[in-house]
Amino acid sequence: MTKSLVPLLERGGIVYNVEGTIPAETIQDLIARIKLPNHLDSAALFKAVLEREDLQPTSAGHGIALPHPRNPLLANEDEQFIAIGLTKHPLNWRALDGEPVRAVMLIVSSSARSHLYTLSKLHFFCSQPDFLTMLFNKARKEDVERYVAEAEKAWEQ
């Protein structure tokens, strides 16, 4: 299981000015603008993510949404990714705290265990004001990766 989020972020990347006025449009635009593993069909990923959203919105509060498929879609751990979409406009994602979403973190995993590990780490980062400020100010991908790497290194010490 991948211990660091950095390789996941490197594979998924950051997409700026993601379009959409509702979650489905935003998810669709994000998926259309990222590079997927060759065998992962964008329509299948979109459908799986929307099915999960229909169960319960994946807004995490603090202006963040964490959409993901309910079941793993990848067989290989080395293909897992997190794609961050920074929205062009804040949007209503039915967050419990009422805050509009400005950053969408699409999580695509190869196992339930890996997914839960990734989700728990992302929840921690999303509670850090410095991290949120960085995202909402549309930081460069390299700066976000460096922030995550330094935080993870500090946890190990």
Which residue type sits at 151? A
How much is the pLDDT for 157? 72
Residue 100 neighbours by CB distance under 10 Å? 13
Q: How many Cα atoms are found within 13 Å in the side-chain-facing hemisphere of 80?
A: 28
Is the pLDDT at 92 greater than 80, yes or no? yes
How much is the pLDDT for 37? 94
Is the pLDDT at 24 greater than 60, yes or no? yes
How much is the pLDDT for 63? 96
59-68 mean pLDDT: 96
Contact 102, 90 (CB under 8 A): yes
Is the pLDDT at 98 greater than 60, yes or no? yes
How much is the pLDDT for 42? 97
Reported CATH class of domain 6-156: alpha beta
The torsion defined by the Cα of 137, 83, 72 and 147, in degrees rounded to 10, comes to -60
Kindly report the average pLDDT of the chain as a whole number: 94
How much is the pLDDT for 2? 60
Is the pLDDT at 1 greater than 60, yes or no? no
Percent of the chain topping pLDDT 70:
99
- The beta strand positions in 38-121, using DSSP E, are 59-61, 64-65, 81-91, 101-108
55-78 mean pLDDT: 94
Is the pLDDT at 33 greater than 60, yes or no? yes
Q: Which of 90, 50, 99 is nearest to 70 (CA)?
A: 50
